[in-house]
Structures are given as structure tokens and as C-alpha cells.
Homo-oligomer: A and B are copies of this chain.
Amino acid sequence: MIKILVDCFGGDHCPEAPVNGALAALRVNPDLQLLLTGDETLLKKELEGKEYDAARLEIIHAPEVIGCDEKPTDVVRLKRNSSMMKAIILLRDRDDIAAMVSTGSTGALVTGALVRLGRIPGVIRPAFCPILPTMNGGIVGICDSGANVEVTSAHLRQFAIMASLYLENVYGIKKPRTALLNVGKEAEKGDDLRRETYKLLQETESLHFVGNMESRDLLSGNYDVVVADGFSGNVLVKATEGTALELLKKIKKDIYSRTLYKMGALLMSRMFKEEKAFMNYQNYGGSVLLGTSKVVVKGHGSSKAVAVEKCIEQAYKMEVSRLSGKIETEIAKYEHYDV
């Protein structure tokens, strides 16, 4: 039995999205057991009248609420009975629990995970690795996308190793083609950090390093893993998601501007639905935090049930594939490197 915690109070659609996502995940995976954290009364109300295997669902009462403008460090220190902190502490204290999923505040989750959970031995800095769909039907992982705004080449190499193992073990991509985000493809492009990292990635035998990638090629399907500092990785992911959503919004608006277009769009309605689903991050799960001692998956604040279900699935696969142990083994090979 794999046990996973689900923080049910944090995102925009709480608690219905986490609860319904949890029930969907339970139906699909018979060896999954879920622990929902949050206000017990509200959770029971949400579960009322729904069919599920009660033996595999537990409610952990955690009534405190985290405010939007609370500092992450204050949350970690003072809100031990919030649905998120309760989950983090349980994850730390109970050996039988493998992972947690949250759609709450990113800052509080990262800080809480770092302070309370700690890291996989050898990992300097845990990093986020969200997944985006590519234009040829594949996926690409970007690591880091915001957990570390200031990094060294040693950090970036670890991000590359962790993300590469993640794509291989959770998504079945053999020898993921791993690239470094840079301002040009040539080895000498970018700042000192990029040039140093380029060399380091080239020397790392565990990696299938394919060189620098320019941001315009993220969706090309030519890359499986893109390594970046948390600042530019964040810019990359949000610019890509933002542009796709804005463009689809514009096309929709333009369609409604003329009857002729509306008629055309009617014929193409299935296609537009597919494009929308294709670019909808809800269908690709959350951004996993790689490198913490136990598995943490962060869903978008706007996650609906389907997105939460995907997050649980990601956490499940990370645990089943014993990703943490593999990260530890691989990272240890390069521990001689001066960090």
C-alpha cells in the first residue's frame, strides 16, 4: 500500500478539487491509500454522498487557515495546524507515508519542505520540475522553475541529474536529451555560469547532454529536460504557458467577431477543444519538487480535480519507481566535485 497525503485547503477550488481528485486517484490505483488534511467538518461534508473505499481514505483534522499575504517562514513556524504544515510534519514523522500533494502557496511549501523534511543525502538544493507538452505530442521537463533564483554550476548539474532521472523513471523516457537554457546554441554563449555549467554537463557521464537550448525551441520536441536557474526557468515556463493561453483567448475572441468565423469554428469545434486541452496545464499534473527527502508535488493554485488526480499519480509513480534512492546513488558519483 502506498500512502500519500493530500493538502485539501490551499488552491482556488478547495476543498472540492483536492477531494474529487483524491477519490478519482483511489479508483484508479487499488494499492493507494490517501490521507486528506484540512478542516474535518468541511471535508466530511465534501465527501458526503460520494462513493469511495473508506478503508483507504483517512481525514487528518487541520483547521488552521494560511492567509494569502503570510510570510512563508511565519507559516512554517506558526501554522502547524494548517492543512499544509500538518501534512509536511506527518510526512516527516511517519515512515509509512511516502509523499504529499499540495495546491497551496509555493513559498510556504518550499520553505516548509526544506526546513521540516530536509534533502536527499548529497543534494545541495531541491528544485522544481514542471512538465510541458511539446508540439510533437511528447513532453519536456524544466528544472529549476523557481525554487532557487541564485545558483552555481554544481546546483545546475544536480538539477540536470535529478530531472533526467525523473523523466526516465516517471515518464519512461530513456536517456532523456538534456539541454542547458541559454541565449544561444554555441558553447561559449551566455555568462560565466552558463559556460562553466556547459563544461560540467558535458563531463557528466550519467547525462545525455545535447548542448544549449534557446527558449524559442522549448516546445520543439528536440529536448526532454531543460536545465535552468530558478529565475530564467520561471520566466521560460510562465512565458510559454502565458503566450499559449493568451493566443487561444485571442483566437476565441476573434471567432466571435464575425458570423462567418463562428460557422467555421463550429466545423472545427473538436479541434479547438483538443488544442485547448493540449495547452491546458491541468492535464500535465503539477510541478514536482526534486531532491527533498520525501516526495512533494505542487499543483497549480487553480488546479481542478483532474489536475490534483494527476499530481497524486506523479507522487505515486515517483514512490513506486524509488526515484529518491536513484537520485541519491547518482548524485553520490559526483560528490567529489567541490560544491
> Chain A interface (Cβ within 8 Å of chain B)?
135, 146, 149-150, 181, 183, 190-192, 194, 214-220, 230-232, 234-236, 238-251, 254-255, 258, 260-261, 263-268, 271, 274-275, 278-279
Per the bound structure, the CA–CA distance linking A241 and B150 in Å amounts to: 26
Residue from B214, B243, B268 within 8 A of A244 (CB atoms) = B243
Residue from B251, B260, B275 within 8 A of A267 (CB atoms) = B260
Chain B residue numbers with a CB within 8 Å of A192 are 150
For this chain, the copies found in one complex come to: 2
A266 contacts B268, CB within 8 Å?
Answer: no
Per the bound structure, the CA–CA distance linking A8 and B278 in Å amounts to: 42
Per the bound structure, the CA–CA distance linking A239 and B214 in Å amounts to: 8
Enumerate 8 A-B pairs (CB-CB under 8 Å) in ascending A order.
A215-B238, A216-B241, A218-B239, A239-B239, A243-B243, A251-B271, A264-B265, A267-B267
A255 contacts B242, CB within 8 Å?
Answer: no
Per the bound structure, the CA–CA distance linking A278 and B253 in Å amounts to: 14
A261 contacts B254, CB within 8 Å?
Answer: no
Residue ID in chain B nearest A132 by CB atoms: B243
B191 contacts A149, CB within 8 Å?
Answer: yes
A244 contacts B242, CB within 8 Å?
Answer: no
Residue from B239, B241, B263, B268 within 8 A of A235 (CB atoms) = B239
Per the bound structure, the CA–CA distance linking A231 and B229 in Å amounts to: 11
Per the bound structure, the CA–CA distance linking A194 and B258 in Å amounts to: 44
A260 contacts B268, CB within 8 Å?
Answer: yes
How distant is A58 from chain B, measured CB to nearest CB, in Å? 34
B250 contacts A135, CB within 8 Å?
Answer: yes
- A-B pairs with lowest CB-CB distance, top 10: A216-B242, A264-B267, A264-B268, A215-B239, A239-B239, A216-B238, A243-B243, A264-B264, A215-B238, A183-B234
